[in-house]
Amino acid sequence: QKEVEQDPGPLSVPEGAIVSLNCTYSNSAFQYFMWYRQYSRKGPELLMYTYSSGNKEDGRFTAQVDKSSKYISLFIRDSQPSDSATYLCAMSHLNTGNQFYFGTGTSLTVIP
Amino acid sequence: KAGVTQTPRYLIKTRGQQVTLSCSPISGHRSVSWYQQTPGQGLQFLFEYFSETQRNKGNFPGRFSGRQFSNSRSEMNVSTLELGDSALYLCASSSMGLGLGSTEAFFGQGTRLTVV
């Protein structure tokens, strides 16, 4: 079993829809949670960074962490065609530096 | 503020050769980590360097090695290339210090290595 599971999709939504992306994990030691967006043939771009449980909002993006359920989510409101990309969740332990454990990514297409 | 710079962007090598990839982190960042990205396995951690010392290492064979210089620039070397080494190699830069948990890590555009 992989430490981080992410539905690969593909996910296709109409412009303006609310998108929900999710990851589950098995290691309760994870405390740092990140979401990255990766366009084709580009490096991952950091969208959200969250420590421990709770919600964090940044513009149209909201990240949620539920450590009791080992479940994290990224919500995208008012989705735009420019949001079409692969979304990667990543997480790490305390004091393990940049050794992130990544999900396999969810491919999202927003249709105009 | 300049981002993470990786060179070269593309490489084609022959099986059995060796290759060196370079990563210049964001100015002031002392942590550089390397990842291999393939369609089947996703992003897999190779190793991390902080202040010229390797701090963590993933489950890759010894053919994969790295180093970090005093200016925080890092290089990754792969010897005796195999076809399966074809991948996008990404480096991530972070400002995190010793004894602290993870902070935001920023990725470069990657080096796409093709082994033929």
| pLDDT at residue A9, rounded to an integer | 84
**B72 neighbors B30 (Cβ within 8 angstroms):** yes
Q: Is the pLDDT reported for residue A4 higher than 90?
A: yes
Is pLDDT larger for residue B101 or for residue B15?
B15
pLDDT digits (tens, 9 = 90+) for A5-49: 998 889 999 999 999 999 999 999 888 899 999 999 899 999 998
CB-CB under 8 Å, A98 with B31? yes
- Asked if B66 is an interface residue toward chain A (Cβ–Cβ < 8 A), one would say no
Name the pairing type of β-strands B111-115 and B10-13.
Answer: parallel
- Asked if B60 is an interface residue toward chain A (Cβ–Cβ < 8 A), one would say no
The alpha carbon of residue A18 is apart from the nearest alpha carbon of chain B, in Å, by 26
Q: What is the average pLDDT across B80-97? A: 91
SS (H, E, C) chain A: CCCEEECCCCEEEECCCCEEEEEEECCCCEEEEEEEEECCCCCCEEEEEEECCEEEEECCEEEEEECCCCEEEEEECCCCHHHCEEEEEEEEECCCCCCCEECCCEEEEEEC
| pLDDT at residue A56, rounded to an integer | 92
Q: What is the average pLDDT across B59-82? A: 97
| pLDDT at residue B101, rounded to an integer | 57
Q: Token digits for B63?
A: 């053919």
| pLDDT at residue B109, rounded to an integer | 96
- Give the span between the Cα atoms of B53 and B69, in whole angstroms: 9
Peptide bond into B8 cis (omega under 30): yes
Average pLDDT along chain B? 92
| pLDDT at residue B65, rounded to an integer | 97
Chain B environment of A95 (Cβ under 8 Å): 99-101
Q: Is the pLDDT reported for residue B77 higher than 90?
A: yes
**B90: closest CA among A3, A90, A41?**
A41
| pLDDT at residue A70, rounded to an integer | 94
Least confident window among A29-33, A104-108, B16-20, B70-74: A29-33
B106 contact partners, CB below 8 Å, separation of at least 6: A46, B3, B4, B26, B29, B92, B93, B94
| pLDDT at residue B1, rounded to an integer | 60
- Asked if B46 is an interface residue toward chain A (Cβ–Cβ < 8 A), one would say no
Count of CB contacts below 8 A, A vs B?
A: 77
Among A98, A99, A100, the strongest candidate for a mutation testing the B interface, having the largest count of B CBs within 10 A, is A98
| pLDDT at residue A92, rounded to an integer | 87
**B29: closest CA among B57, B71, B67, B58?**
B71
CB-CB under 8 Å, B102 with A96? yes
- Is the sign of the CA dihedral B91, B94, B97, B102 positive or negative? negative
Chain A environment of B60 (Cβ under 8 Å): none
Q: What is the average pLDDT across A75-94? A: 94
Q: Out of A32, A41, A104, whose CB is closest to B102?
A: A32
Is pLDDT larger for residue A52 or for residue A71?
A71
B42 contact partners, CB below 8 Å, separation of at least 6: A88, A102, A103, A104, A105
